[in-house]
Amino acid sequence: MITSTSQIAALYGPQGSSGLQSQKAQSGGAQMEPGRAGSATVIESRGQNMFLLETAGLRFEVQSNVPLVKGEQIQFQVLRTAPVLELQIVDPGLPSQARQALALAGDVINVKPLLQSLQKSFFSTSGSVLTGSAVSSDIARQDSQPVLQKMDAGAVEQLIRQGNYTVKATVTELLGENRAVVRIGGESYQLQGAIGAEVGESKVLQLQSLQPVPGFVVLNAGGVPGNTQPLLLTGQMQSLPALVRALQLPLFSGLELLQPTQQQLLHSMEGLQPIQLQEPGAGELLKTSLEQLGLRSEILANQGKGQDTVAQLKSVLAEISQIFKGQEEISTAAGRILATLESSQFIQASLQQENGVLFPLLFSFLEKGYLLVDQEAGGRNEEENKENDCSCTLHLTVEGLGNIRVRCVQTAEAVRIAFFLDTREKADFVATFGAELKETISSAPLLSLSFAAGAGAPGTTLLQKILPDDQSILDTSA
């Protein structure tokens, strides 16, 4: 049973305990990641529902309607870190999978932070110079000695200053306002600055910096830099690994350590947009995307089909965690998605009793989101078990609108749709789009369309379905 209580914690500023070194404070702060579990001691009560907690060498003040006692040890799960830190008290007797589900239930699968970390993190190799196709994940998996050497921004810029890294760029389009599209190593890039060339002409560019964005100067016929301002790369950052190869830099981005099929998978999931679900073939696209998550990877492995899971997201994330072991930004981003997938698997297994099928959503603009499809056991005769009847519920949290629940029931004859939001005012606002929604429904006549209040938080709603009634959990989410 989930006991409704107020939110436990809003962070008013972590502070190192007196005498603690900053390094220790930073290591404690690293533990405050969504999904992480930990324990804290109540140091003192400051009145008006304010308390001072200490965990991992950090002390911070929280606001809580949950009664806390000085000296009390509490077990918590980090729900979110922005805009304020929110913690959730959990029963220490809960299985680890259930504790993880408390924080990650209903989370969307968002690979964008991982892709950004891979693209901006640069590495070199110890003992040899590898670029582009010479790098393989097989090399990175060698356990005899580390082959990856992380290069921070300063080391990268020093390497560039010491070398003479040039590339040939052909102008393919002039955009005006000193902007041009050029072709470098088979990829297109947009540059800001005066390149001094017409469409079809080529210039030799010398790399001046790589971070925060690549910058170049144009070399004249004698190979001497001109007096023009640097050209800055302003678009197509997803092609940065190709640019590194074209420049023959003795370093590579983290993304290059992955196989091309793995890179393509991350890009396709990051680029999935709602508009694509309104186009022909949307159902097949969504089905393929869900299959690529790897939620059935263990089942396939038990069936002797382990090779089919290699290119699925779950396997790719496990490989990333191994390759970039010790690289906190990348491993944390990969671990977060992997934990969300495992949480979805745990929840799906728990839903078998309810005959429901859970589909996590892949859209990064959502804060929370999943689709729950009812899977009825069926009636005793054909009349009670119509093949064309189906029902599902979409649970969302969207910035600006808050929690949304959409209940859809479709029969062979008609469709019924009910929208629930967390306030009556929001429901009235969404109802103004009712006519537009009716025009988009073509599978069957719309029998009813309603808008009301009553939507709960997606994560809490899901947990209420999977946790046994006699299991006491203190839910302190907003």
CATH (residue range 2-89):
2.40.50
Q: Which residues contact 5 (CB under 8 A, 6 or more apart)?
A: 65, 66, 474, 475, 476
What per-residue confidence (pLDDT) applies to 174? 92
Alpha-carbon span 383 to 372, nearest angstrom: 25
Are the CB atoms for 263 and 222 separated by under 8 Å?
Answer: no
Taking each helix axis from N to C end, the angle separating 328-350 and 96-104, rounded to the nearest 10 degrees, works out to 100
57: left (phi over 0), alpha (psi -120 to 50) or beta: left
- Segments making up each domain of the chain, as ranges: 2-89, 109-155+251-354, 166-247, 366-379+387-478
Beta bridge partners of 343: none
**Of 158, 190, 184, 202, the residue nearest 245 (C-alpha):** 184
| 311 φψ region: left (φ > 0), alpha (ψ -120 to 50), beta (else) | alpha
Check residue 132 and give its pLDDT: 36
**Cα 93 from Cα 470, distance rounded (Å):** 13
Quick one: 190 exposed, middle or buried, by C-beta within 10 A (0-12, 13-18, 19+)?
Answer: middle
Amino acid at 312: Q
The phi, psi pair for 434, rounded to 5°, reads -60, -45
Spell out the per-residue pLDDT of the chain, length 478, in tens: 223 333 333 333 333 332 222 233 333 444 566 666 778 888 988 888 888 888 878 887 887 777 788 888 887 777 666 667 777 777 666 666 666 666 677 788 889 899 988 988 888 765 433 333 334 444 343 443 345 778 877 888 888 888 889 999 999 999 988 899 999 988 889 999 988 889 999 999 999 988 778 889 999 888 888 777 889 988 655 567 778 888 888 888 888 888 888 888 998 888 777 777 777 777 788 788 888 888 888 887 777 777 777 778 999 999 898 888 888 889 889 988 998 888 888 888 877 655 678 888 887 778 888 998 886 644 444 454 455 678 899 999 998 899 999 999 988 788 899 999 999 999 999 999 998 888 877 667 888 899 999 998 888 788 777 765 544 343 333 3
